[in-house]
């Protein structure tokens, strides 16, 4: 876009996923003249593909990795609860909570006693064993045999989270490619996931940071017979399957399935995901008939940055500073508050001051919201 003068702001962010939206809210609340640029859709990519789980430390408990920086994960649910109550650093009071509890299903004969002890020791009051007579009727009718732990893991309506963060500052979110603009800012923040690598190459920063993509092929089933929010526990540190429930545009319930079921390259045979879902449900919930359901898959890469010069810090947010740029990867939806802290700490330590000016960005085109995966994938009827 041709302009007589370069576009100017205190901070320019590229990438309107959860990280970019969260950081924009923090900046605007502090009075910064900030602009968020997006080349596709608000909340697209990894964010809209998230299951919406605010993790409490389950996977680290299973892997016995609740040490060091991973403990910070335990602080995230409270940060999100404050935001949902309208009392946090961002206002998510308009967001629907899809579920306030997730069920951890431990098969009979598995190392249930050990897991229950570890869960209670690690997660405290946020986890409790449920007596069989208190199980949800859907679990009873599904034929599950084993132990059920109720975990206070909130599951959010991700599209609602995106809108709650974007709407107050929609006038500061515009459709444009940072590489195509002549722009000046005190700080550039890149939250474009896989797009960060392209931006870094354009700026000569590619040798100073590294990222990697962890492929997933998420599964979907509809119409789901009942609402289900559960982790199916296996021998690995990752659940065999993590199932959340969402509503399609027509009101149909959709089971969205991650975990080991989805841990495979995006170009894998989609039928393998369907078979893995069938196998998981047959083992844990034999009373559920998947035969009449339609199914679909969503290939998505979870892109994460390298946290230090020598080693990867898996499942943690990353911020890398190069010249006047910050390259950011939240890794998980859960970590958005922590990533926001890391960015604001950097800006404050480097003395960034607000210009006390708010620009009119209306000369740049508006950008639409991303559709949820279940409303855009190709659904397949089973043979």
Burial of 3 (C-beta count, 10 Å sphere; 0-12/13-18/19+): exposed
Q: Report d(CA 277, CA 262) in Å as an integer.
A: 9
Contacts of 148 (CB under 8 A, 6+ apart): 103, 104, 105, 106, 129, 130, 132, 135, 139
Q: Report d(CA 214, CA 18) in Å as an integer.
A: 18
Q: What is the pLDDT of residues 62-74, one digit of tens each?
A: 555 544 445 567 7
pLDDT at 264: 92
Between CA 99 and CA 13, with CA 91 as vertex, the angle to 5 degrees is: 110
Contact 168, 94 (CB under 8 A): no
| Alpha-helix runs per DSSP H in the chain | 18-29, 58-63, 76-84, 112-123, 137-142, 158-166, 195-202, 270-284, 336-349
Contact 251, 245 (CB under 8 A): no
Q: Which residues partner with 128 through β-bridges?
A: 150
Secondary structure of 76-113 as H, E, C letters: HHHHHHHHHCCCCCCCCCCCCEEECCEEEEEECCCCHH
- Tell me the DSSP string of 248-287: -TTS-EEEEEEGGGG-S-TTS-HHHHHHHHHHHHHHH-TT
In terms of pTM, does the model score above 0.85? yes
Spell out, as residue ranges, where the chain has pLDDT lower than 50.
Answer: 1-2, 66-69, 112, 114, 309, 312
pLDDT at 68: 47
What are the tokens at 358?
Answer: 């708010």
Contact 379, 294 (CB under 8 A): yes
pLDDT at 1: 46
């Amino acid at each position: 876009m041709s302009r007589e003068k370069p576009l100017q702001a205190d901070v320019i962010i590229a990438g309107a996923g959860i990280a970019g939206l969260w950081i924009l809210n923090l900046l605007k609340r502090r009075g910064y003249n900030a602009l968020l640029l997006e080349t596709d859709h608000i909340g697209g990519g990894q964010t809209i593909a998230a299951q919406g789980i605010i993790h409490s430390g389950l996977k680290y408990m299973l892997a016995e990795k609740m040490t060091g920086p991973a403990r910070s994960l335990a602080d995230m649910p409270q940060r999100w609860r404050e935001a949902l109550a309208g009392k946090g650093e961002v206002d998510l009071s308009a967001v629907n909570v899809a579920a306030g509890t997730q069920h951890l299903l431990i098969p009979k004969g598995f190392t249930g006693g050990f897991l229950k002890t570890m869960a209670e020791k690690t997660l405290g009051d946020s986890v409790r064993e449920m007596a069989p007579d208190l199980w949800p009727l859907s679990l009873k009718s599904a034929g599950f045999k084993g132990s059920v732990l109720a975990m206070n893991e909130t599951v959010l309506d991700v599209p609602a989270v995106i809108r709650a963060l974007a709407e107050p500052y929609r006038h500061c979110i515009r459709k444009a490619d940072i590489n195509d603009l002549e722009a000046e800012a005190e700080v550039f923040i890149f939250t474009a996931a896989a797009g960060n690598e392209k931006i870094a190459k354009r700026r000569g920063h590619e040798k100073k940071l590294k990222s990697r993509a962890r492929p997933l092929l998420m599964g979907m089933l509809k119409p789901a017979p009942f609402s289900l929010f559960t982790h199916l526990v296996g021998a690995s540190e990752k659940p065999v399957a993590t199932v959340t429930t969402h509503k399609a545009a027509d009101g149909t319930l959709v089971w969205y399935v991650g975990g080991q079921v989805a841990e495979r390259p995006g170009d894998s045979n989609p039928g393998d995901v369907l078979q893995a879902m069938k196998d998981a449900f047959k083992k844990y919930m034999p009373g559920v008939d998947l035969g009449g359901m339609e199914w679909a898959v969503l290939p998505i890469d979870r892109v994460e940055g390298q946290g230090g010069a020598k080693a990867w810090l898996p499942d943690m947010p990353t911020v890398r500073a190069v010249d006047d740029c910050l390259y950011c990867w939240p890794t998980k939806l859960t970590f958005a508050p922590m990533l926001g802290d890391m960015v604001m700490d950097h800006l404050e330590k480097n003395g960034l001051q607000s210009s006390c000016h708010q620009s009119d960005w209306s000369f740049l085109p508006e950008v639409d919201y991303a559709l949820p995966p279940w409303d855009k994938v190709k659904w397949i009827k089973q043979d």
